[in-house]
Amino acid sequence: MQIAKLSIERPIMTTMAILVFIIFGGIAYFSLNLNNMPDIEIPYITIFTTYPGAGPKEIETLITKRIEEVVSTVSELERVESYSLDGVSISILEFKIGKNVNIANQEVKDKVDEIINDLPDDAQKPVVQKVDFRAFPIMNLVLSGKNDPRELYEIADKTLKDRFSQIQGVAKVDIKGGRQREIRVILDDRVINEQLISLPQLMMILKSHNMNIPGGYFQVRDQEFTVRMQGEFNDIEEMKKLQIPTAFGNRKLGQLARVEDSGKDVRQRSIYFDAQKNYRNENVVKLGIIKSPEGNVVKVADAVRSILPEIQNALPKGMRLEIVNDDSDFTRASVNDAMGNIILGVIFTSIVLFLFLTQL
| DSSP strand pairing (170-177 vs 139-144) | unpaired
Looking up residue 251, the CATH number of its domain turns out to be 3.30.2090
Query: Looking at 25-39, 199-213, 275-289, which range is the least confident one?
Result: 25-39
pLDDT at 140: 92
The arithmetic mean of pLDDT across residues 198-227, rounded, is 79
Q: Is residue 186 part of a domain?
A: no
Least trusted range by pLDDT, from 146-160, 222-236, 283-297: 222-236
Q: Angle 328-357/297-314 helices, nearest 10 degrees?
A: 140
CB 182 within 8 Å of CB 262: yes
Task: Give ∠ CA 33-305-309 in degrees, rounded to 5.
Answer: 160
Domain membership of residue 342 (yes or no) is no
* Confidence check: pLDDT of 195 > 90: no
CB within 8 A of 257, min separation 6: which ones? 185, 186, 187, 188, 191
pLDDT of residue 1 exceeding 60: no
Structure confidence at residue 360 (pLDDT): 54
User: Alpha-carbon distance 95 to 104, whole Å?
Assistant: 8
- Residue 149 inside a domain? The answer is yes
What is the mean predicted confidence (pLDDT) over 30-40?
Answer: 72
For residue 158, being part of any structural domain is answered with yes
Q: State residue 192's pLDDT score.
A: 80
Each residue's pLDDT tens digit, 106-132: 999 999 998 988 888 888 899 998 887
- In the predicted model, what is the mean pLDDT of residues 235-264? 84
Q: Are residues 118 and 231 in the same domain?
A: no
Q: What is the pLDDT of residue 306?
A: 92
Q: Does residue 68 sit in the same domain as residue 167?
A: no
| Stretch (H or E) spanning 213 | strand 213-220
pLDDT of amino acid 205: 82
For residue 274, the model assigns a pLDDT of 82
Task: Give the pLDDT score at 240.
Answer: 86
* Per-residue confidence (pLDDT) for residue 336, from 0 to 100: 85
* 46-93 per-position pLDDT tens digit: 999 999 888 889 899 999 999 999 998 888 898 999 999 888 999 999
The C-alpha atoms of residue 145 and residue 283 are separated, in whole angstroms, by: 7
- The mean pLDDT value for 36-42 works out to 72
Separation between Cα atoms, residue 353 and residue 356, nearest integer Å: 5
Complete DSSP assignment for 305-350: HHHHHHHHHHSPTT-EEEEEEETHHHHHHHHHHHHHHHHHHHHHHH
Which of the four pLDDT bands, split at 50, 70 and 90, describes residue 307?
very high
Compute the Cα dihedral for 19, 25, 29, 30 and give only its sign.
positive
Residues 281 and 171 in one domain: yes
The verdict on 106 and 233 lying in the same domain is no
Q: Give the per-residue pLDDT at 359.
A: 62
Contact 156, 178 (CB under 8 A): yes
Q: Residue 318: give the domain boundaries.
A: 139-180+266-327
Do 200 and 250 lie in one domain? The reply is yes
Count of domains observed in the chain: 4
Q: What pLDDT sits at residue 42?
A: 81
- Assess whether pLDDT exceeds 80 at residue 133: no
The answer on 224 and 82 residing in a single domain is no
